[in-house]
Chains A and B, each alone.
Chain A
């Protein structure tokens, strides 16, 4: 009996198109894309306090990306899989380090016990001195402390 035309198939063991290596590579690149999307989503939603402060829009896709990357690495250790997979895991680590460690600020010294604005001189936009304790002499004031113009 004629078996008909044979199809060319790449060997799964070689990581060809139909093999587990191909699937793992796609998973690894998908993981990296997911992780990059997480970082981008965080940057694009910085104006929303809930996103900026919780980091949830970054950590969910970054976590999913890292999980996918580890799954890819467990089935294929070749360079074409390893590079995007490790990049995805590295992105999660780097984002978590910046978010949780680099962005942490020192505790204020005596601010929590502040009852009145201190009598110290600051400079108005025209350069004239102003006693900080007098800024609310005529009405309530919201004073916002900025880190700087950079």
Chain B
């Protein structure tokens, strides 16, 4: 499991620490990766900062996208149970 955010390496480290995340947070300070994923929310952050739309991408070994979810509102997130179901449904054991 990995996280990605349009923040600096230092901010990504702080995000990981603040949320006690047990996985790495990758930094995309220029927003290039988020833009390439089609998930850029231009000027959506504080101070008009470009941020990512909240999303989950399940990637198979090799890089093919098996399942994706993007929030339509800030409070939309898949539950851990839904993500787990997608793992079992899309990834071969």
Residues of A within 8 A of B (CB): 46, 49, 52-53, 99, 103-118, 120-127, 130, 132-150
Contacts and interface: CB of A to CB of B under 8 A. Distances in A.
A149 B28 CA distance: 13
Contacts of B70: 108, 111-112
Contacts of A146: 3-5, 15, 25, 52, 54
B38 to A, nearest CB: 3
Given A140-B91, A146-B25, A146-B54, A135 B64 contact: no
A110 to B, nearest CB: 3
A112 B61 CA distance: 20
Contacts of B24: 124-125
B45 to A, nearest CB: 5
A135 B33 contact: no
Contact of B61 (A113, A127, A136, A144): A136
